[in-house]
Amino acid sequence: MDEQGIIQKTADHVRVLLSGDSSGHDWFHVERVRNTALAIAREEGADEFIVDLAALLHDVADWKFADGDHTASPRAARRWLETQELVPGVIEHVEEIVASLSFKGAGVATPMRTLEGQIVQDADRLDALGAIGIARTFAYGGHKGQALHDPAIPPQMHASFEAYKSNVGTTINHFYEKLLLLKDRMNTAAGKRLAAERHAFMERFLEQFFAEWQGQR
Ligand code: ADP
Ligand code: NI
């Protein structure tokens, strides 16, 4: 089968798997990440087939919903790709990207070895920023039953993935624990440019949020 056929079958597979999700990891998230990643891939001259496959498969079994097992998504990606006819190296490359993608805490580096991986990581992180990022963060917080905000609970700068995973915090703290840190961790020029705009929008949102919290606006 040609690459376009494999992409189409993979997209159909992922759409079925993620239908009905209300945690911010739905098919539309995958579609946005994919579109952003492919746009950056064209700008950077990366392998669009790898970028597309990795973007499609990056959230098929997120660790947050697989009892904390962060090997679930890369394994699920491999299992699917093994059913397709692919040239050697593609499965390993996509599996590596999916395994290395996630944010793991303020103090934990998440290096990405290949340009294709860097692009998918940027695209996934961009979808956690800006207006959509804000919406997804509150959707996730509601899904988890977190408080919107509690002035008595300070943000935590997690030094390990274990600490980040087990954190029970507030949704506003998530901005300080992750979202506002992302703009300085982008890999590509396009990723940095887009992240800067979305970052500025989140700062305006937070300023307004705290002013309203104190009854000032
Ligand atoms: P990544 O793809 O970088 O691993 P995640 O899958 O961790 O991103 O996050 C998916 C969405 O859920 C993002 O919008 C993220 O900001 C949000 N999210 C993750 N953890 C929390 C949390 N503890 N509170 C609120 N939102 C969260
Ligand atoms: Ni994602």
What total of structural domains would you count in the chain? 1
170: Cβ below 6 Å to ligand 1? Answer: no
| Domain limits for position 140 | 3-213
38: Cβ below 6 Å to ligand 1? Answer: no
The sign of the torsion formed by the CA atoms of 126, 130, 134, 135 equals negative
Q: What is the pLDDT of residues 116-149, one digit of tens each?
A: 999 999 999 999 999 999 999 999 999 899 999 9
d(CA 32, CA 21): 15
* CATH code of residue 175: 1.10.3210.50
Instruction: State the pLDDT at residue 62.
Output: 61
- pLDDT cut 90: percent of the chain above it: 75
Cβ distance 27 to 33 under 8 Å?
A: no
Q: What is the pLDDT of residues 3-52, one digit of tens each?
A: 999 999 999 999 988 887 666 678 999 999 999 999 999 999 999 999 99
Burial class (CB in 10 A: 0-12, 13-18, 19+), 183: buried
d(CA 210, CA 215): 9
For residue 217, give both structure tokens. 């606006």
d(CA 127, CA 142): 18
For residue 7, give both structure tokens. 């992409």
The sign of the torsion formed by the CA atoms of 90, 95, 100, 101 equals positive
Q: What is the pLDDT of residues 143-167, one digit of tens each?
A: 899 999 999 999 998 888 888 888 8
Instruction: State the pLDDT at residue 81.
Output: 96
Q: How many whole angstroms from 1 Cα to the centroid of ligand 2?
A: 27
Which residues lie below 8 Å from residue 207, measured CB to CB, with a gap of 6+? none
d(CA 88, CA 101): 22
Pocket probe for ligand 1: among 60, 65, 136, 187, the residue whose CB has the most ligand atoms within 8 Å is 136
What is the model's pTM? Answer: 0.93
Which residues lie below 8 Å from residue 188, measured CB to CB, with a gap of 6+? 40, 43, 44, 118, 119, 122
Q: How many whole angstroms from 30 Cα to the centroid of ligand 2?
A: 7
